[in-house]
Structure 1
C-alpha cells in the first residue's frame, strides 16, 4: 500500500506570514497524479490545503492516523509545499528549521510551527513499520526575502543572520520492488530560496519533480530516488541559473525507488 500525505499552503492566518501563489496547486497536482496513476485499492492519498493544513491536522494525519493505518512494508510519501523558516533556539547561536502550517503564529514559530529536527524524527519513529518513507519539501529555510521562506522575529534582529543562512492503466505497486529506506528531498540548500514560477504555475522544484516522475522510461516501472534527484536537481539548477540547488538526504536505503507515473 502507498500512503501519501500531501500538504499545500498559499494562505496563512497570521498577516505577518507572506502569502504564496503556487503551493496549493503544487500539492493538488501531485495528489491528483498519485490518485490517477496508482491502483485505487493500493493507495491512500490525503490532501491538506490552506485552512485544512493546520499544525494539529498535519501532526494528527501523520503521527496518529498514518501510524495506525500502516502495515509492515508499506510505502509512505510525505509532501509539503509551504513556507519554511529558520528560528533561534534558547542558545543565541543555535537555530532550527520549521515548516509553517496554515495557523502558525509569526511571533511563536517554535511552538506553532513544525520542527524538522524534532517532529520529523518523531514521524520517522512512528512510521517504523513502513518499508520506505520519502519526504519532499518544496520549502526553504534561508530566511531571505522572497521564495518560500521568511525570517521569524527571534532571528530578524540578529546581525549575523547571514552565517546561518505511456500506459494509461493504473499502476499496481504490488508488482514493484521499491526497496526500503528513509529519504528527504528538499527544494533548496539552507542559504537559498525555493522559488515559485507563475509562468509554470508551480514551484520550480515541484515542476521538475512532476516532470521527472512522469517521464517515460521504456520498460522500467520504477525510478531510483537518487536518479530522480539527479534529474530534478539538474532541471532546477538549469531553470534558476544555479541559484537554487535541491538537496537529498539519504538516511537509509540508497536503492530505494518510487513508481514511474508516466
Structure 2
C-alpha cells in the first residue's frame, strides 16, 4: 500500500483497499497491542502489565507464544481485542518498517501513534458498515466524504497523526453514524427501546424484546440475553464481556464487532448477522 495511491483512493477503490486494511494482519505488525497497551489482572488478563512494556508471552519474532491457548492461559481479553488493521499500518507504513526495539524515543512515539490509529480505524470500520446499509442511502454521500477525510488522515506522518484532534473527528463521524442507525432501525415497527449508555451489568434480559434497540455504549457486562430478540439493534461501543447470547437473534444488528462477540458467550442457536464468523469458544 503506497501513500500516494491510498491518498487518492475514492469510491470503489477505497472500498477495496479498506476491505483488506481494516483487518488485523499480525504477521505484518511489531506486536504493538502486546506492548503499547496496559493489562490489568482479572477476568480478562492473567497478569498486570504497564503500557509500553512487552507482554512476557511476546516472542522475538513479535508473535504470541501462547496464541493457540490464550483463553486457557487466562487471556480472553487478548482474544477479544482487534486493532482493525491499525497495527500493521503503523508498523509498515507510518514507521516504514522500523520496530520499537532499541530506541525508547521511537518506541514511545510508535505506541502513541498506534493508540491514535486504532481509534481512527475503528471509526472507519463503522463508516464502512454504515455505507452498506440500504436504509442509510439518503446520507451515503456524506458518509463517503467523512470516510475519505478520515482515511486521508490515517496516511499522515507521525507528527500529523499525533496532532490530530481525534475526539473531534470521532464526534463528527458519530453524528452521521447516529443518523445511519436511526434510518436503519426504522424498519422495526413501533417504538424502539432506548438503552443508550445504560448500565445493564448483570441484567436479566432473557427473552427480552430488544429489536431495533439502541444499546450504544451500554454496559451489558455478564447480562443474561438468552433467547433475546436483538434484531437490528445498535451495538456501537456496547460492553458485552461475559454476556450470554445463547439462542439470541442478532440478525441485522448494527455496528456489532467481532471483538464484542469474542468477549461474549453464545451457542450454535445464536443467530448472527450474515457473514459474521461464530466465535470458536461458543
Check whether TM > 0.5. Answer: no
TM-score (structure 2 length as normaliser): 0.26
User: Which structure is higher in strand share?
Assistant: 1
User: Which structure is higher in helix share?
Assistant: 2
Based on CA coordinates, which of the two structures has the bigger radius of gyration?
A: 2
